[in-house]
Amino acid sequence: MGKLNEIVKQQQQSLTETEKNVSEDIVQLVGFVVGDEEFAVPILSIQEIIKPIEWTRVPFTPDYVLGVFNLRGNVLPVIDLRIKFGVSANEIDENTRFIVMKIKDEDVAFIIDRLTSALRVKKKNVLPPPDTYSNEDDIIEGVGRMDDGRIITILKVDNLIRRNDIVPGNEG
Amino acid sequence: MDEIQELMEDFLVEAFEMIEEMDQDLVELENSPDDLELLNKIFRVAHTIKGSGSFLNFDKLTRLTHHMEAVLDKARKGEFIITPEIMDVILESVDAMKGILEYIRDNGDDTAPDIDIEPIVVKLDALVNGKSDSDQNSTKSNSSKEDESSSKKVGNINLDEITLENADEIDLDSLEPEELDAVLEHLVSLRNKPADKSENKQKEESKEEPVKNENKEEKKEVAPVKGKNLTSEQKKKEVKKTISSVADQTIRVDVKRLDQLMNLIGELVLAKNRLIKIYNDVEERYEGEKFLEELNQVVSSISIVTTDLQIAVMKTRMLPIGKVFNKFPRLVRDLSRDLGKKVKLVIEGEDTELDKSIIEEIGDPLVHMIRNSIDHGVEKPEERKAKGKPEEGTVWLRAYNEGNMIVIEIKDDGNGMDPEVLKRKAIEKGIITESEALNMSDKEAFMLIFKPGFSTAAKVTSVSGRGVGMDVVKTNIEKLNGIIEVDSALGKGSTFKLKIPLTLAIIQALLVASQEDLFAVPLSNVIETVRIVEEDIYTIEGKSVLKLREEVLPLVNMADIFEIEKVLEPEKYLYVVILGLGATKVGLIVDRFIGQEEIVIKSLGEFLKGISGIAGATIRGDGRVTLIVDVGSLMRLAKETHNKKVVTDSLHEAKKKKEKPEDYTVMLVDDSAMDRKIMRNALEQLGINLVEAKDGVEALQKLKNSDVDAMLIDIEMPRMDGYTLAQEIRKYNKYRKLPLIAVTSRTTKSDRVRGVEVGMNEYITKPYTPEYLQNVVRRNLGL
């Protein structure tokens, strides 16, 4: 992981030679919209981003677990972040995407309404989530202030879903 | 270092294999103590382990095996008969040896602080010394006596004493002709072997210190040094020969590689299924075309090869069940001695092969069941005598193939089980109610012993009642997709049958649809499928049952079990899958049978695994995921559902009846806004609701999100045309009956045929009168 980070950084360096602030710690994020809010996750936690694939419902799961789908021979769960965040679910349209992320060594897909862009935020511009945020599940890593003044919520990928919430009382 | 590591691994594998065999041989030996063949075999095992052990510097192991060897050697030479008491000591030492080997496996050295070999060594020594003290220190006189039975002795000459060095001392003139022949032959054979011998010597010399010590020790103890060495060397060679000849024909393969191979085969099976599906689609569309024949040949040859390949790979993972059975003679012997019973174990079909992963899982349940048979089944000798049975009870352990399953049968000729006693116990323990007990068949009563918290043993012995009940056995067997059947006759004995599928990864399944959702049911648990009408369902005390021939089965709607939303209107016929698990049967109402298919089981992943009723998922020919039901937990869920839901009610939950025109919605699909307008104008007069879509993609999306009762579809549209749209819609179970009306200016016959093919109900050509359109829509809605 560290090495990859370095390589990515080096690439940036060559791309943005005019700026000499690369020595500063920069977080690379991918931004997306769920409902009417913009979120972001670290680029390295993303496995791939794909167009929606038909899924199969799985009984006895919370409603934000839409089901499972076949990604090149692997069976992956798909989670609707819109339902998880309590936003009314939009229809699936041409902008809808599945973001496949690795959570505890398992690939999980999340439905998002649309991608925005890859973002680069200086670490010092990432602040801990304000107390006013409801962050009971500890799913918010922090709040990033963009250079253009936008505020983006950065999610803690590892906490987005928990096994205990999905299949209660069934450990391991 | 690596070489040593490799050597050690080989040593351990070999040692464990030998020990397993030895265990069985030892018990057999007790029954026929004078079987020289058997004794020799056991002796060789101890000897080989000692030899290899000393080479690897395992002093403790060497010391133990050395003493074992001494005892076995005496027995082999007929100096004492093996009594059960001697056997106990030998078995104890075998256990210690196992313990040390396990310690070596885990830690790499043989210090094994938990295992104290001294008391065992003392006991072994006592056997050697006690029985034949005088023999111990003496030399030739008794060695010639020892060798009386061996072929090495001819007349008065002991060939073992003759070597090339002392050959000159023999007085040839005094020999009888046949003695002379034998001596000469012996000398020739000695001369022919020098290369071998010197090699061996070199090897021995190059060995490390402890080996030399070991050799010295051996020399000290064993009387006629030269002769003795020769025979043991020959023996070693013999053992080596058999081992190397086996080794030439087999390769040890890492199980991970086989697993990987199995996974790949799984993918291949999925691809094959997909190919078959595509072929079927193509066949429908291009009937009579020439290339179909060729395609058919390719598809069928691929599916044959895939199936063969699957079987071949499965076979590489197969092990004879004897691997598990081998440890049971010892278990039975120890148990029956502990319990003061006489039990004979008869093993049959140990060559029957099973997947390695199943072999690993099956051992513990079997141990438990055999314990159970001996502890609860077989009676004490006096009791048996009083009943007129032979004093010695028999337990049969049998394995055989039955279709796609392996059956393992554990049968005893003991006391059998009394269904009434079992029922009473179960009621006392609150496992079942009085009324449940009344309706229970004998077979169901026998299955009670597998309920958690049920134990018929009046007292807890060291054998039973260790906190692991028969319920664990049942769960373990069910985990392997297996089933247990019990039969018992009071006073005559009980039979337990474990039926286990040959492999875990790929199974035959029945695909069924419950409402919109497909499920795969393992075929091994499907007893039959039946078609019934609602009148066949009876409701007794608020519970729905199906009378099938002479049986009354609980009936549950699958949609109720999995809490699936009901969208389909009930039809005249109901489809029922009769599921069987052991003695329990349940009727499961589904909405459609799809068919039988070979499926590859995939895990649902860390987050979703363990959902009740679901064992995993499989990927179908069309790339979609289908869930596989876990019959064990499904049965439990079915029972809960059965208690609270009446099937006949649930069948009518589907849809509210529609009566007025406002209850209906019709979708208009056309890329031309003007055409949509014309349709809208005509249909608004009917008072029905209208939804519009400008192409097939949008229509499909809107269809899923709203409740539509009929669709008017244009054929020529961008993105997705009308034919494709109709085809897509018909893929859904729920829309099988949705009226689809083509509205188009295409008028040729082939267009119409195509429309029917893709599932259009009607075909209207433009232009049309408003009245005509209204009539068609009204007719299709049933207004």
pLDDT band for B242, please (50, 70, 90 cuts): low
Q: Could you tell me which of B669, B516, B501 has the C-alpha nearest to residue B591?
A: B516
Kindly state the average pLDDT of the residues B317-342: 85
Domains contained in chain B, number: 5
Percent of chain B whose predicted confidence (pLDDT) is above 70: 81
Output the pLDDT for position B253.
Answer: 81
Kindly state the average pLDDT of the residues B355-368: 84
Beta strands in chain A (DSSP E): 26-34, 37-42, 46-50, 65-71, 74-80, 97-103, 106-112, 114-122, 126-127, 140-145, 151-155
Name the helix (H) or strand (E) containing B592: strand B592-600
Q: How far is B561 from chain A (nearest CA, A)?
A: 9
Q: How far is B543 from chain A (nearest CA, A)?
A: 24
Say whether pLDDT at B670 is over 60.
yes
Is B742 domain-assigned? yes
Domain boundary among B119, B137, B155: B137
Please tell me whether residues B700 and B610 are part of one structural domain: no
Say whether pLDDT at B409 is over 80.
yes
pLDDT band for A86, please (50, 70, 90 cuts): confident
Output the pLDDT for position A89.
Answer: 66
Is B478 domain-assigned? yes
Is B422 domain-assigned? no
What is the domain-level CATH number for residue B613?
2.40.50.180
What is the domain-level CATH number for residue B708?
3.40.50.2300
Output the pLDDT for position B396.
Answer: 92
- Name the CA dihedral angle for B590, B591, B595, B599, rounded to a multiple of 10 degrees: -60
Please tell me whether residues B275 and B375 are part of one structural domain: no
pLDDT band for B607, please (50, 70, 90 cuts): confident
For chain A, the residue count is 172
* Distance separating alpha carbons of residues B494 and B100, to the nearest angstrom: 38
Residues 135-164 of A with CB under 8 A from B: 161, 163
Kindly state the average pLDDT of the residues B473-491: 83
Output the pLDDT for position B187.
Answer: 63
Name the residue of chain A whose CA is nearest to B268's CA. A73
Which domains occur in chain A, in start order?
Answer: 20-162 (2.40.50.180)
Neighbouring residues of B296: CB distance < 8 A, sequence distance ≥ 6: B279, B283
Please tell me whether residues B642 and B622 are part of one structural domain: yes
What is the domain-level CATH number for residue B114?
1.20.120.160
Is the CB of residue B717 less than 8 Å from the CB of residue B676?
Answer: no
Of A56, A61, A74, the CB nearest to B624: A56
Percent of chain A whose predicted confidence (pLDDT) is above 90: 11
- Name the CA dihedral angle for B423, B429, B430, B433, rounded to a multiple of 10 degrees: 20
Please tell me whether residues B590 and B526 are part of one structural domain: yes
Name the helix (H) or strand (E) containing B133: helix B133-137
Say whether pLDDT at B200 is over 50.
no
Q: Sign of dihedral through CA atoms B2, B4, B10, B13? A: negative
Residues 207-246 of B with CB under 8 A from A: none
How many contacts (CB atoms, under 8 Å) link A and B? 84
Is B241 domain-assigned? no
Please tell me whether residues B619 and B732 are part of one structural domain: no
What is the domain-level CATH number for residue B302?
1.10.287
Q: Sign of dihedral through CA atoms B59, B64, B67, B73? A: negative
Question: Under an 8 A CB cutoff, do A167 and B610 touch?
Answer: yes
Say whether pLDDT at B657 is over 60.
no
Is B337 domain-assigned? yes
Q: Sign of dihedral through CA atoms B1, B2, B4, B8? A: positive
Is the CB of residue B717 less than 8 Å from the CB of residue B742?
Answer: no
Is the CB of residue B23 less than 8 Å from the CB of residue B332?
Answer: no
**Interface with A, mutate which of B608, B626, B691, B704 (most A CBs under 10 A):** B608
Q: Could you tell me which of B95, B23, B91, B97 has the C-alpha nearest to residue B58?
A: B97
pLDDT per position as a tens digit, B689-713: 888 888 888 888 888 777 788 899 9
Question: Under an 8 A CB cutoff, do B625 and A92 touch?
Answer: no
Mean pLDDT of chain B: 77
Please tell me whether residues B331 and B479 are part of one structural domain: yes
Q: Which residues of A touch B623 (CB under 8 A)?
A: 70
* Distance separating alpha carbons of residues B618 and A70, to the nearest angstrom: 9
Q: Helix, strand, coil: what percent of chain A each, to 5?
A: 20, 40, 40
Say whether pLDDT at B225 is over 50.
no
Is B690 domain-assigned? yes
Output the pLDDT for position B510.
Answer: 93
pLDDT band for B769, please (50, 70, 90 cuts): confident
SS (H, E, C) B624-683: CEEEEECHHHHHHHHHHHHHHCCHHHHHCCCCCCCCCHHHCEEEEECCCHHHHHHHHHHH
Active site residues of B: 47, 69, 372
Question: Under an 8 A CB cutoff, do A59 and B623 touch?
Answer: no
Please tell me whether residues B10 and B24 are part of one structural domain: yes
b/e code B691-705 from CB counts within 10 Å (16+ = b) = bbbbbbbbbbebbee
* Distance separating alpha carbons of residues B461 and A53, to the nearest angstrom: 58
ipTM of this predicted complex? 0.79
What the block records as the tokens of B285 is 């569309």
Is the CB of residue B343 less than 8 Å from the CB of residue B393?
Answer: yes
Please tell me whether residues B340 and B472 are part of one structural domain: yes
Say whether pLDDT at B234 is over 60.
no
Output the pLDDT for position B529.
Answer: 92
Please tell me whether residues B342 and B487 are part of one structural domain: yes
Residues 589-608 of B with CB under 8 A from A: 602-608
Neighbouring residues of B45: CB distance < 8 A, sequence distance ≥ 6: B18, B19, B21, B22
B778: exposed, middle or buried (Cβ count in 10 Å: 0-12, 13-18, 19+): middle
Output the pLDDT for position A110.
Answer: 92
Question: Under an 8 A CB cutoff, do A75 and B625 touch?
Answer: yes
Output the pLDDT for position B410.
Answer: 92
Q: Which residues of A touch B563 (CB under 8 A)?
A: 59-60
Of B138-152, B260-274, B642-656, least confident by mean pLDDT is B138-152
Q: Could you tell me which of B35, B137, B120 has the C-alpha nearest to residue B78?
A: B35
What is the domain-level CATH number for residue B339?
3.30.565.10
Say whether pLDDT at B5 is over 70.
yes
Please tell me whether residues B621 and B693 are part of one structural domain: no
Kindly state the average pLDDT of the residues B344-356: 86
* Distance separating alpha carbons of residues B609 and B231, to the nearest angstrom: 61
Say whether pLDDT at B208 is over 60.
no
Neighbouring residues of B539: CB distance < 8 A, sequence distance ≥ 6: B545, B646, B648
**Interface with B, mutate which of A47, A51, A54, A60 (most B CBs under 10 A):** A60
A92 touches chain B (CB under 8 A): yes
Say whether pLDDT at B438 is over 50.
yes
Please tell me whether residues B616 and B680 are part of one structural domain: no
Higher local confidence (pLDDT), B564 or B226: B564
Higher local confidence (pLDDT), B74 or B163: B74
Residues of the domain holding B391: 320-417+456-501
B624 touches chain A (CB under 8 A): yes
Is B687 domain-assigned? yes
Higher local confidence (pLDDT), A88 or B91: B91
Q: What is the pTM of this model?
A: 0.52
Output the pLDDT for position B154.
Answer: 53
Of A58, A68, A91, the CB nearest to B701: A91
Is B724 domain-assigned? yes
Mean pLDDT of chain A: 79
pLDDT per position as a tens digit, B491-525: 888 999 988 877 666 788 899 998 888 999 988 88
Is the CB of residue B72 less than 8 Å from the CB of residue B39?
Answer: yes
Please tell me whether residues B606 and B698 are part of one structural domain: no
**Interface with A, mutate which of B265, B607, B629 (most A CBs under 10 A):** B607
Of B375-379, B404-408, B454-458, B540-544, least confident by mean pLDDT is B454-458
What the block records as the tokens of B746 is 């295409």
Output the pLDDT for position A172.
Answer: 34
* Distance separating alpha carbons of residues B456 and B414, to the nearest angstrom: 15
A50 touches chain B (CB under 8 A): no
Kindly state the average pLDDT of the residues B418-422: 87
Question: Under an 8 A CB cutoff, do A106 and B607 touch?
Answer: yes
Of B605, B610, B623, the CB nearest to A76: B605
Say whether pLDDT at B220 is over 50.
no
